[in-house]
Every structure is written in structure tokens, then in C-alpha cells.
Structure 1
Amino acid sequence: MENFKLTNFFTIKGISAASGLVYSQNVLFVISDSSNFLYQYDIDKKLLLKFPLVKDAKENIEKAEKSDLESITQYGNQLIMLGSGSTQKRNTMFTLDLGSDALQTQDLTALYQNLKTVGSFSGDQLNIEGAIYAHQTMLLFQRGNSKNSRNGIFIIPNNQEDGIRFVPISLPTLDDIETTFTDAILVNDKIYFLACAENTESTYEDGEVLGTVLGIMHAPTFEIIDIHLLSEDKKFEGITLYKESETEIEFLLCEDNDTETLETTIYQLTLKK
């Protein structure tokens, strides 16, 4: 018997292709890989606000032009959002100060090129899908879903002169296809990550979804200590901590259903400790 429970929590109208989320003080911040907005959803009021990240921000941007925001993480009062790096147009980082609403934009082209060199990736293999910032270090989760690519974690210290490292990670398979990272968060000394199996050899084109697993990793060593099959047909792309007690830990998940419908379902995942 599985020691988790996965339920539909609520639906947000006005967001498509949700790719990451952060929960804070009963507000859910959501990014989409086909939009230039940061979405802010007040759970109690059921109110959705949109924060433009670029001038003339758009939704349902055509694939060749989109920023492909796949990673969102919170550090203190800052929300950090990153493009996947899978094309030249996807190399931007946005940082939003939640206190002042001050928005900063940074071009990560040079850093992403360095990541390709460190990880021995060719031009179209880089695909950053999750980010964690802790202990003066950024962890970026590489989704190895292109041909000959690899799953792994880039370790980027604040002082990059100390050296960037890439740690390959072997993930479980579904229907003989290796799952690939879609998001990750840090809770205490554990990394909780999502990984999806998709029948594609491209970082660009979507394929048949074969399921999503939740993995638990010992943060200091990246050793995988537990795996749970969450779904055989859903592509979960975002995870955030919702509640924690002595016996249970609760997460909120978002799903990228690869459609242009402006609606996203938020799922509640309860895991016994």
C-alpha cells in the first residue's frame, strides 16, 4: 500500500502550461513555459493576478519565441525564475523582490555555455527544469530528455571561481524509458524531485507522457532514498512545500498538459514520513 495520497486540490482559470510553482503565505506563485507572466493566485480569495516579466508580455507564445520558464525558487524575499537554456531565446533569469515588486533581468548565456562545457553537452542538450538556492550555492536540475543527454545536477557556488560541477544522476525507468527531472525542492536535508518519462528524444518537441515519479534524495550526497509512482499518464512539472507536521509532509503540484487551454489543475500530495 502506497504511503501517499494525491488529489485534485483546485483549478485556476487563466493559466496554461504551468511549469513551476512556489507557495508562500496562502499565495501560490505560478510560472508557465509558454508565457511571459508571473501568476499570483490568492487561494482564499480565488483571485488571480498577472505580473508581466517583459514589456508587452504575452500568453501562449509560439514555441520558437518563448522564454521557456521552467524553474522557480524562493530565496528569502526573492523569487528566482529561469529559462531552460534549450535555445538561445531561453537564457534569461528574472528575479522579483516580493517586498518592493522590483524586477531584475539577467542574461545567462555565458553561464549556460559554461554549464554545457562542464557537463559535456552539445548545443541543444541543456535543459534546466528545476532550481534550488541554499547555502550560498545554486543547484540546477538538468532534464536529460534529448538524445544522448543525461540527467544530473549542476552545482554552482556563489563564487564561480571555486568551480562549477555536474553530478550525473541515474533515474528510474517507466516503460523502459528513463524518467527525467522536471522540478525539485529542498526540505530540511532532503531533496524532493519530480521526474517524468516522455517518449521523445528532443528538448524541443513534446512526446507521449508515460508517467511521473516523486523521488526523495539525501541532499548532502544526492543519494536517492525513495521513489513513488505518482501517475502513469500525467506530466507533473512543479512542486512546492504546502504544509509539514511530525507525521506528514504536504506538497502542491502543477501539471503541464501540453495544451493551450487557459486552465491549470493544482494537485495536493500528502506523504507520510
Structure 2
Amino acid sequence: MNDTTVSMIQAKRDPTLKAIVQKRIPLFYSQGADATSDRPAHVRAGSSLSWLGDKLALIQDDANFLVFIDPESLTIEAITLAAGEAGARQFDDLRGNKRFKLDLEACTTVPTPSGDLFLAFGSGSTTQREQILMVQASNPSNPELKQASALYAQLRACTSFSGSELNIEGAIFRDGQLRLFNRGNGKPNNNRVPVNATVDLDWNSFSAYLDTPEHHQPPALQNVCQYDLGKLHELSLSFTDAIATQKGIIFSAAAEDSPDVTSDGRVTGSVLGILDANPRWIELRAPDGSLFTGKVEGVCAFRNEENRSWIVIDADDPMLPCELCEIEFIAA
């Protein structure tokens, strides 16, 4: 699509919503650490999650391991992804290799004639981070990474979606469309400002491109929408994930003082919200009513319990496990 001006949609705080963190579970691999594959004992930086079969599939932005969580037994299995620079599968400032990470930040599960397909997207915040992870439900131990530079170039060039810096942080599949969410936490660049935005891709066209990106053009970008999510404790909110549910699209957003899309910053809290005809959100709180200040990176609805959701939070510390949290999320 041509880069054109689009309308800005306001999402406001709605005190009739409720989002309470009921349980926090630090995530450790059931197999323990494995030095030969550069795997630590803990799940480092969970960035998005989606159902694949009866397991929660969780991706990490700075470790090359796909994680499967059994929510009943809390068994946590690691699927090893390809090694990166110098054989590493962990990437951070302590090692000085953060620039080489896959930066998988968004995932979704798509029903297909051959079974469910799990997709995880690199953020695109640098040209190193333009790969898409594919996992078939019928063969989850055989993940495949596809280079998708042409798609990311198209997303970056559409500045009504990407704003000043591209940073894909959410993905959903709904009604034959794949929707991507850009996180507006970048720095101003070339007279452009960061934007929270969504864009739709026709699934059939996207699937053909993903199968053979060397022979197909990426699908046309459709229906770009920008969002003003407001502020939480003086910091602007920006998308961190989304999930399609029967209630509508539930999104997570964090208030983070990050200087650009590749750097972490101070977090004052996170929110859950709904994108429908009346976009709205509420901040997460602890059971005692105090503000929950964790950084929500991923969200996934419970099955068969409409007022329960999972979130994953990340302390942005490679030495600490990320946490899976059970949330009571009630929308009027």
C-alpha cells in the first residue's frame, strides 16, 4: 500500500475493567541447564505466547529456545533453535552479543488444512531481526526459520505503520487475516515519531510468500490503524502483545522509558485492554490493590474460562527467570 495518512484511534483507561495478578510462576526448564547447547536453567526473557495443541508455546527475544509449557503440570520443555554468532544461543549486554539475537517478539497460531501452524516474528528493529519461526503442531520438535527481508522492508517503508522505528511486538490471526502490531517505543527519526499501529495481511498471500519467499512477493499491506494508548504514571503506553478472543482483541501494553527500540528502560507498569468499537484498558494490580509494576511482554487467554488470562513478564535481566502469571481479567 502507499504510505498515506491514517486516522488515530484513542484507547482510554476504563475503570469498569479489572486486571488482577492472581499467581506468579518463575519459569525453569524441567530438563535443567545444558551447557552444550548454551541453555541456562531458567527461561530468560519470555516475549509472547500462544496455544499450540494443549501447550502454551512461549518465545524468547534473547535466547534461541522455543518453550512449551504444560499449564496443568507446569512441565517446561525447551526446543533448541539454531545457534547464532559463535555458537551462542543466549544474547545480552553482559556477553556483548545482543546485536546478534533473533529478537522473536510476536507469535500466533494459525489453523491450516494440514494442522495448526505456530508462527513467531522477529521484531524487525534491526535488519538482523527479520526472520519468522514456523512450527507445525504435528512436528513441534522440528522448527524452521525463514528469512523474510522483503516483508520487513515493506513494513519499514510504510511509515504510517512503522513510524520512526519498526518494532513488531504482536501478531494475531482472525478471519483469514494476519494482523501485526507495531510498538511505538522508538526514538524520533527523520521528522517521524514512534507510533503504535496495526496492519493486516491476507493469509493466503502471506502463506504463499512464506512457503517460497524467493519466488513470491510479500502480501500487500492493508488497513493500517494507529492508536494513542495514553499514559500510565507519566510514561506513554506502547503495545507489547495481543490475542484474538471471543471478547475481541485483548492487548497488553507497557509504560517504559526506553530511549529506542533496541534498549530497555524504566517501567512504571503495564495494562491489559480490548480493541473493539470502544478501545479501552486498565492497569494491572496485585490482589491487595497495589499497582503491579512488572513489564508484561505476552498475553494469552485461558481456554474455556473467559475471565482468565495468562501473561508473561520479563525483568530484562538475563540472570532472572521470566514469570508466567495467571490474571483475572474482567471486561464489562
Common fold by TM > 0.5: yes
- Secondary structure of 1:110 counterpart: helix
* 8 A contact 2:17–2:281 mirrored in 1: no
- When residues 161 and 32 of structure 1 are mapped into structure 2, their CA distance, relative to the original with a 3 A threshold, is closer
The residue type paired with residue 214 of structure 1 is: L
Alpha-carbon deviation of 1:271? 2.1
CA 1:232–1:172: 2 relative to 1, 3 Å: farther
- Amino acid corresponding to residue 90 of structure 1 in structure 2: R
Aligned partner of 1:145 in structure 2 is: 185
Aligned pairs for 1:219-238 (under 5 A) are 223-230=277-284, 231-238=291-298
| Structure 2 segments unaligned to the other structure (5+ residues) | 1-15, 29-41, 188-192, 206-217, 285-290
Quickly say closer, same or farther: Cα 1:58–1:162, change in 2 above 3 A.
closer
Residues 272 and 113 from structure 1, CA distance in 2 versus in 1: closer, same or farther, beyond 3 angstroms? same
Report deviation, 1:259: 0.4
> Any residues of structure 2 matched to 1:260-271 within 5 Å, and which?
260-271=318-329
- Confirm whether residue 92 of structure 1 aligns to residue 131 of structure 2: yes
User: Which structure 1 residue ranges, 4+ long, deviate > 6 Å from structure 2?
Assistant: 121-124
Q: Give, in whole Å, the separation in 2 of the partners of 1:161 and 1:40.
A: 30
Distance 1:172 1:128, change over 3 A: same
Whether contact under 8 Å (2:271, 2:281) holds in the other structure is yes
Question: Residues of 1 paired with 2:231 and 2:159: CA distance?
Answer: 22
The letter of the residue matching 2:101 is K
1:169-201 CA-partner distances (Å, limit 9, x unpaired): 111212332200000001025110001111123
- 2:237 corresponds to 1:209: no
Q: TM-score, normalising length from structure 1?
A: 0.89
Does residue 1:107 correspond to 2:107, yes or no?
no
**Which amino acid counterpart does residue 69 of structure 1 have in structure 2?**
L
Q: By how many angstroms is 1:49 displaced?
A: 1.6
Describe the shift of the 1:182–1:123 C-alpha distance in structure 2 as closer, same or farther (beyond 3 A). closer
Which one has the bigger strand percentage?
1
TM-score, L = length of structure 2: 0.74
Q: How does 1:183-194 map to 2 (within 5 A)?
A: 183-188=241-246, 190-194=248-252
With 19-28 and 89-98 compared, the bigger mean Cα shift is at 19-28
Q: 1:31 to 1:232 in 2, by over 3 A?
A: same
SS at match of 2:99: coil
Checking the alignment, whether the CA contact within 8 Å between 2:250 and 2:275 is kept in structure 1 is: yes
Does the CA contact (< 8 Å) of 1:10 and 1:267 recur in 2? yes
**Mapped partners of 2:184, 2:279: distance in 1:** 21
Moved more, 103-112 or 85-94: 103-112
Whose relative contact order is higher, 1 or 2, with alpha carbons under 8 Å and at least 6 apart? 2
Q: Which moved more, 1:19-28 or 1:147-156?
A: 19-28
- Of 250, 258, 267, 2:316 maps to 258
Q: Deviations over 1:58-111 (max 9, x none)?
A: 134531110101011111211101100001110000110011234332212111
Deviation of 1:11 (Å)? 2.2
Unpaired runs of at least 5, structure 1: none
Distance 1:216 1:95 in 2: 27
Looking at structure 2, the residues matched to 178 and 82 of structure 1 have their Cα atoms a distance apart, in angstroms, of: 24
Number of aligned residues? 267
State the Cα distance separating 1:48 from its structure 2 match. 2.1
What letter is aligned with 2:74? K
Shift of residue 3 of structure 1?
3.4
Q: Greater shift after overlay, 179-188 or 134-143? A: 134-143
Contact (CA 8 Å) 1:180, 1:197: kept in 2 or not?
yes
Instruction: State the identity as a percent.
Output: 28
Once the two structures are overlaid, the 10-residue window that deviates more, 70-79 or 153-162, is 153-162
Root-mean-square deviation (CA), in Å?
2.3
Residues 8-157 of structure 1 mapped to structure 2, 5 A cutoff: 8-13=23-28, 14-24=42-52, 26-55=54-83, 58-61=89-92, 62-76=97-111, 77-101=116-140, 102-120=142-160, 125-147=165-187, 148-157=193-202
Q: Alpha-carbon deviations, 1:207-243, whole Å to 9, x = none?
A: 100111111111xxxx443311114521100001113
Please identify the structure whose Cα radius of gyration is greater. Answer: 2
Instruction: Identify the range of structure 1 (3-12 vs 257-266) with the bigger mean alpha-carbon deviation.
Output: 3-12
Deviation at 1:26, TM superposition (A): 4.7
> Which residue pairs with 2:215 in the alignment?
none
Amino acid of the structure 2 residue aligned with 1:88: T
Higher mean Cα deviation, 149-158 or 18-27? Answer: 18-27
